[in-house]
């Protein structure tokens, strides 16, 4: 076999080897195995207060008995689509006895006032989402839409107790205690 013929054989061999290699280079795929993913991003609605106590030095029969401090309620929310409103309420458990001396002498919620964000003082005489009937005050009602599903607001509350109404001018001396609650709600 001459040199030329030998080269021909080598070239032919390479060609065949290449063809075989290409013919066997088909991809083999496994079946596709699915993994179901389920992720939940929860709603949140929180209220934080700058302080948790207010003191009052009462004067018998006086209309002006301001609280010792203002309190800021900061409401933050992250709501899912479909919510249309978010409210912030201040309330007592009972309209008849917002504060009491524990001996049957009470200061009703109608004598307790809040000025929210510098607005006019308003008595807690409404029925709101929480608390007793006629024992609350709605501080804020925020419409919720696509632009504010997440947000926050502050309510700066100044307090006053008015002792001029009804039998309150005759309220006996003593220590009167009570709990005012601040709570937010998103609807529907």
Residues that bind another protein (CB under 8 A): 24-44, 78-81, 149-150
CB of 154: closest distance to another protein in angstroms? 20
∠ CA 7-9-15, nearest 5°, is: 105
Q: Which is nearer to another protein, 1 or 39 (CB)?
A: 39
The answer for residues whose C-beta is within 8 angstroms of residue 52's C-beta and 6 or more apart is 71
The answer for residues whose C-beta is within 8 angstroms of residue 122's C-beta and 6 or more apart is 113, 114, 115, 116, 137
**Token digits of residue 181:** 């609650």
CB of 146: closest distance to another protein in angstroms? 9
Q: Which is nearer to another protein, 45 or 125 (CB)?
A: 45
CB of 176: closest distance to another protein in angstroms? 42
Q: Which is nearer to another protein, 42 or 104 (CB)?
A: 42
Q: Which is nearer to another protein, 34 or 104 (CB)?
A: 34
- Asked if residues 140 and 153 have their Cβ atoms less than 8 Å apart, the reply is yes
CB of 88: closest distance to another protein in angstroms? 19
The residue to which tokens 């795929």 are assigned: 29
CB of 106: closest distance to another protein in angstroms? 42
In the sheet that 85-91 helps form, which strands lie side by side, from edge to edge?
Answer: 136-143, 85-91, 181-187
Q: Which is nearer to another protein, 151 or 178 (CB)?
A: 151
């Amino acid at each position: 076999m001459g040199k030329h013929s030998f080269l021909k054989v080598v070239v032919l061999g390479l060609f065949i080897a290449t063809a075989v290699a290409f013919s066997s280079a088909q991809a083999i795929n496994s079946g596709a195995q699915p993994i179901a993913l389920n992720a939940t991003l929860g709603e949140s609605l929180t209220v934080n207060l700058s302080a948790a106590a207010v003191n009052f030095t009462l004067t018998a029969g006086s209309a002006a008995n301001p609280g010792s401090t203002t309190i800021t309620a900061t409401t933050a929310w992250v709501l899912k689509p479909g919510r249309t409103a978010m409210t912030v309420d201040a309330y007592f458990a009972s309209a008849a006895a917002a504060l009491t001396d524990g001996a049957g002498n009470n200061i009703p919620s109608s004598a307790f006032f809040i000025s929210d964000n510098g607005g006019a003082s308003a008595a807690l005489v409404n029925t709101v989402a929480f608390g007793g009937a006629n024992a609350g005050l709605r501080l804020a009602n925020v419409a919720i839409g696509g632009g504010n599903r997440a947000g926050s607001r502050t309510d700066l509350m100044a307090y006053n107790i008015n002792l001029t109404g009804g039998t309150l001018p005759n309220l006996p001396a003593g220590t009167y205690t009570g709990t005012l609650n601040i709570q937010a709600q998103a609807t529907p």
